[in-house]
Each structure stands twice: as C-alpha cells, then as structure tokens.
Structure 1
C-alpha cells in the first residue's frame, strides 16, 4: 500500500482516484453481444459462455431437481448460518415498508401514494472464483418480501458447468422462482431483452465486475431499470489512536480480496497508527488463500495521514466510499458529519464482514463515488410508488381557478379548459 502523508487539498482528487475503467471500449463489446442476443437468443448466450469462460453448457436453466439436491451438498453449519442471516435481513428490511398517508392539500383535495412491487426482477449473482451466495440472500429476501411476482436469478457456472450448491441452496431458501447458469454481459442482456429460455425483467439487481457494470449501465439507457451503477468493491477506514491495528488491517484485506480492481483506504490523523497497520497488513496478507488477488488490489490502495479529524471527514465525504468503517474516539461527532457513504460500520467490534453477511443491512451498495447520490439496495428498491388524487366538487371550486391561471400563463388552453368545463358544470347545478 502507498503511504501518503499530509497531502495538500489540491491533490485530493488525484489521490482518491479509483482504478480506471474504460467504459467506452467496454460499451462497444456490450453493444455487440446485445445485438447477437436480440438476434440469436439462447445461441448467443451459449456462444459467449464458451468464448469468455471456456465452459460448454447444454441447458441454461437449472432444474428443480438440481436445486433440491443442493440441500444434501452443503453442511448443516452453513445451512444454519444462512437461516440466521436470512432472518436478520428479513427483520431489517421488513421495517422499511413505506407508510401510505392520505393528505388533504386543500379542502376537498386528497392526495396519497401507494407502493406496489415491481412485478418482474432479475438478480445477478457473481460466481467464478468466489460464488457469492450471500448476495442471493441480500437480493432475494427483500424481493420476495416486497411481493415481486417473478424473481429470476442468473449466475455464471463453474468449470464443470454447474452452479455452486451454496448459491442453489440460498435460492431455494429465499424462494427464487427460476435459476439460470449464465454470467457476465450475456446474463444482463438476457434478463433485459429475454431469450427462448430466460424471460425479460423490468429491473436488474446485483454487483459485478467492470463488464457487468458496463452491461447494466447500457441496458439502463434502453429502458430497463437497474439498482445502481455498482462496480468494484471498496472500503475506507477512519481510525485514530483507539483503533486496533490488527482489526484495521483485517478490514482492509477483507475488501482487497474481492478482486484486483478493488480499492481500500485508511484515513488517519494518528501518525503512530500508520506503521502498525502496514506491519499488520503484511503479516495477515501472507496467510490469505486469495493473497495474489489482494496483493493486486493493494497496488490501488492507500494509507493517508492527515492533520486532523475534520480534514479526514472532509476527504472521506469527497471520496464517498461504498463501505465506511469508523474506529475513533469521538464517534458521535464523526457520525454527525458523515454525508456520503453506502454503509457505515461503527466501533472496533463492527467488522465490514458483518454487513456483508448477517447483521441484516444490505451489502449491495453504491461504489465509485455513487454514494454521493445513491442509496444501497433496500426494500423500496423492489417497489415503485403510484400517486393518487381525488377532488370533490368543493375542492375543484377552490383549486380550479389556481389551475386555470397557471395553465393560461403557460399558454396551454386545453389544460385550462379541462378545469373550466367542470367548473361550469358545477356552477350550473
């Protein structure tokens, strides 16, 4: 990790730059694959699964028998752990149902909103070297809780053409309707446009690498909603003298092992903490099974020593991290100044891993600075709101002249007349 001491503010933008992704070049690839999916359907999905992953598959859909068999292929400990995590996720998300209130804005004018589930949603679950069954819980639980009628899941197969049994068991646990063995750009395209085997959906959820991110952003341009433009994972740790160096190092490495394009940052105003964390990172890194991946991520990562807590907070808000860990003496003061973050973890005993798996909060979060404008996935992500209004005769008599005046000022005579004919009718009775 690069250690940067007391940077000048004019250098912050360069220092906080994420690993670059050439979206223009990726979009050309995405457009070509989408063109083929629209023309060739399943044939294109099989072609690109072989082209990118060198995996030959015969059936895109995972059978119910395969899903049911997953129950016998994972340990009882893992089943129990998933059950606890799913319960916590459900409890937290169930508290997020929006309240519908009827508001009388003017006498006789009532307005309200009704939240309804998005009927068809698609979940993308990263697979490959680290099949993320936890994401099945994070997306599947709120999707079913919200009442989505059709929930499908796409995930890349392993080298044997099969789906990791933990992903299949998690799908069964939360009640996913259909599971397909396809990943990458082609999976996003299939859910967006539909093929012979895979139905199209109205909104696509799930994290992924730069290819999946580019694919989601492209379908968003053609009318298919996405959860957010999430990309490679990241964490920023705010720490001072009360932080435990071994904990800080562990949190940094827990994100670094996600992928070579991940980024981890430590921001501190305690100069003694820097060397301690550097040493701990080296010790813990040597024991990781995904050491090679973490080492590549650490090349994009930084330890930044600043003058004060205030400066660290300003820099953190400028970065807008996906995950923000706060291990500081003045916790309440720091929390009151946090403006931009996907999810926040407070205190020495709140590892980011808790949010990834089982505390109940959602781990599908905005990255790449999008936390400045986006929230993480929540129950309402799987819902949409419809506004309603009802106006009585008395209400239109009171509000009608206001509408007529505004419509005339915008030179929209038909808008004005839609009110005028009604007022004329009321007054004639």
Structure 2
C-alpha cells in the first residue's frame, strides 16, 4: 500500500501537520541565482554576442548571428501541415475554445460626465509587445503556447514574440504548429535565462518586450524574477497542485486518477483529497494502490503522493470548504452531487472544477479558461492569466472651468495641509478671481 498521508481534522495536531504538509521551500538556490545574475548582466551589456555564446554553450547550437536563430514562419506552417490530423484538429478545437472564453474578458474604455462638465474615465490599451517563453527540445507544451498567446492576441497585443530553446538544434514541430495556430508573430530558437534577458532588455537584433510570460526551468524562473520591474511577468509558479473535495458519490477510480493528474508533473507536486466519508477515503486508497503500477510515471507519482499527498477525513462538507480556503489551491475539484452549493463557500482557488465529470485535465487543455494559475497559496490574492494581464488602464481626467472652481478649492486645502505650496498654487491659478485665496 502506498504510504500517503492519512489525516483527520478531529486530531489535536491536525493544523500543525497540515501546515507542514503545505510548506514549500521557495528559497532560491544560490548557485542558480548567481549564474542567472551573470547571464542577465552579460546579455544586458553585450547583447547579441552574449546571446550567441550562451546558445552555443547551453543548447549546443552554432549560429553566425542572432538573426539566424529566428525560425521562419514557413517552418511553423510546414510543421502544422505535417501534424497528424487528430493532433491538428485537437489543437484547433482547443484554440477556438480558449479564444471564445477569453473574448469575454476584454475590458473596454469608459467615461462619464459630471453635472459641471468634468469628464472622468478610463482608457484601456493593450501592451505593445509580449515575450512568450516555451520549453523546447524533447519537452512539448503546445497547450501553454495557446494559453499564453491567445489571450494576448485577444487583448489586442500587436506583437507576440516566442522564444524556445532548441537543444542540439532539435525544433519541436507541435510547439511550432501551436505558434501558428495561436497567433504568435515571431519565434526565436533561444532559451534559458539568456532568452528572458534578451526579450526583457533587448539586444542589437531583438527588440525588448513589455511583459514576459510562460513556464520554464529554475533558471528561467530566476531570470523572470530578476527582470520584473524592467518588464512585467505573469507569475513565479511553484509546483502544481490539486485539491479534490468529494462527498463520496464519485467513482473512487476517477478521483484517484485526478490526484495522479497533478502528482505526475514532478516529485514536488501536491494532490489532496478532502472527504467526510471514511469508507470512501479507504476506497480511494485502494484505487490508488491498484492503478499506480499501471502508470508510466509511477515513480514520480509514488514520490509525489508519499511526500506531499494526503487523504483527509473532514467532519462535514462545510469544513472541507473551510480547509480548501485555507489551502487556496491551484486547482480545486468539487466532485459532488451539488457542486454549486459548495462552490458558494469557496473564496480562494485558481480554478474551480464543478461536478464529477469535470476533470482538471479538461481545464489544462481545452475547456477554455486559462491553465496558467496561481500556486503556493497565492490564489488568496491573485488570479488566472487572462486578457486583463495584457491590457493596461490609463485614467482620463478632463476638468471643466466650473469643475476647476470646486476641485481647485479642495486640492488647495489638501495640498497646503501637506505643505506642498506649488501643488496648491497650481490649483489656485485656475480659480476665478473672486475665489482666489489671498
């Protein structure tokens, strides 16, 4: 039997055990931080030359110029044409669903006019350029290309630049095909911290972007953290998480496989079940033990579930929701007969999957909502990636002559209270002579 944590909320030490289970050491490896800092500094100072050197060193790709590392659109289209028909159809169907969902997120500019003619409002504009990082080589994440590129294009971003490493010159065809479907504008065969630096700072060949999004290894994460402020970033993601709230009505095998779906990502992923039915929890344990040996990534699953997984007996469904809010998971499945009832009690979750037929994996690929979600309890204060991450807002203020008389007196009083004479005078100059202060 797999040694997965079995917890009970009635135990005196439950909260302390849960805190230890949820704890994730996000401290950065000093060697990675030092190496990343050096790479970014050299790319910032030397541009193309540093980028070419690091591409030779880390990806074993020789190029006479950075321009030679750009992957021509004809190659993406050729990759798309060569895809097996079922893969192409699946990518196109997922892209259409993702586009349709994100179109509902578009924010429009607005304004209103006050009685004295003063106009106040908000102007919404897209970012000019976005950099999308996509792991390359043997790793293939076409779904991440779609989830990052499509919201940016729906937001109206004119140029989405994709960077993806090509170790030993291996270019992943399904990733290039996804770039063609997702509306990417240019693709560069570069990766690692040096690619993040190139799109953040710009080089002689690559123009800088306004925001960097997309998943990557520890060096990519460290680089995104360091360039934040020069550019925006989506988030620094931790290990993947799934929390399943179940009332015992879902087939145990389904729930076991849902727990597997996140545990298979890596050994640090976290899968937790909350249920008030002890017999059902035992049935899920039996399903885990029976199904685990059949899985291709059984070793990763075993380590992930043993170290960070848990089957937790709760007193009630209400308590399950309370604990779910405490955990604030990336993915929350409410696998019950009345999922909407319990969803009303949830305040913190990256994405909420309602009902037994809504497996988390559907959200990862094709349901429509974004699969880039807050992890490590950050769902308490942050949201999934969306169109709003690629739009920005500017305040609009047009004060009428009449409005300047009212607002000017208010501003003057407040400015003088703060000891800022020029602020006060700036407002007072616009007052009518009879209203001007002595």
CA distance in 2, matches of 1:312, 1:192: 43
Q: Deviations over 1:238-286 (max 9, x none)?
A: 1121122111111111112222332222222221122222222233333
Comparing 69-78 and 350-359, the one that deviates more? 69-78
Match of 1:408 in 2: 416
2:189 is the counterpart of 1:178: no
Compute the TM-score of the two structures, normalised by the length of structure 2: 0.90
Residue 84 (structure 1) shift: 1.1
8 Å Cα contact 1:207-1:231 kept in structure 2: no
- SS of 1:238's partner is strand
2:76 is the counterpart of 1:67: yes
Match of 2:122 in 1: 113
8 Å Cα contact 1:61-1:197 kept in structure 2: no
8 Å Cα contact 1:237-1:327 kept in structure 2: yes
- Which residue, 125, 144, 151 being the options, matches 2:153? 144
2:270 is the counterpart of 1:263: yes
2:346 is the counterpart of 1:338: yes
Residue 341 (structure 1) shift: 0.8
2:239 is the counterpart of 1:237: no
- SS of 2:203's partner is coil
Inter-CA distance 179–402: structure 2 relative to 1 (3 Å threshold): same
Residue ranges of structure 2 left out of the alignment (5+ in a row):
none
- SS of 1:359's partner is coil
8 Å Cα contact 2:334-2:354 kept in structure 1: yes
Residue 44 (structure 1) shift: 3.6
Match of 2:282 in 1: 275
Match of 2:323 in 1: 315
2:15 is the counterpart of 1:6: no
Residue 360 (structure 1) shift: 0.8
After the TM superposition, which residues 42-191 of structure 1 pair with which residues of structure 2 at under 5 Å, given as runs? 42-49=48-55, 51-52=57-58, 55-58=60-63, 59-104=68-113, 107-157=116-166, 159-191=167-199
8 Å Cα contact 1:41-1:195 kept in structure 2: yes
Inter-CA distance 389–269: structure 2 relative to 1 (3 Å threshold): same
Inter-CA distance 319–24: structure 2 relative to 1 (3 Å threshold): same
Residue ranges of structure 1 left out of the alignment (5+ in a row):
none
CA distance in 1, matches of 2:333, 2:53: 42
8 Å Cα contact 1:139-1:205 kept in structure 2: yes
Compute the TM-score of the two structures, normalised by the length of structure 1: 0.92
Residue 350 (structure 1) shift: 0.4
- SS of 2:430's partner is helix
Residue 57 (structure 1) shift: 4.5
CA distance in 2, matches of 1:145, 1:40: 35
- SS of 1:216's partner is helix
CA distance in 1, matches of 2:251, 2:52: 49
- SS of 2:294's partner is coil
Match of 1:36 in 2: 42
What is the Cα-based RMSD across aligned positions, in Å?
2.2
Residue 399 (structure 1) shift: 2.2
CA distance in 2, matches of 1:296, 1:46: 38
CA distance in 1, matches of 2:234, 2:415: 37
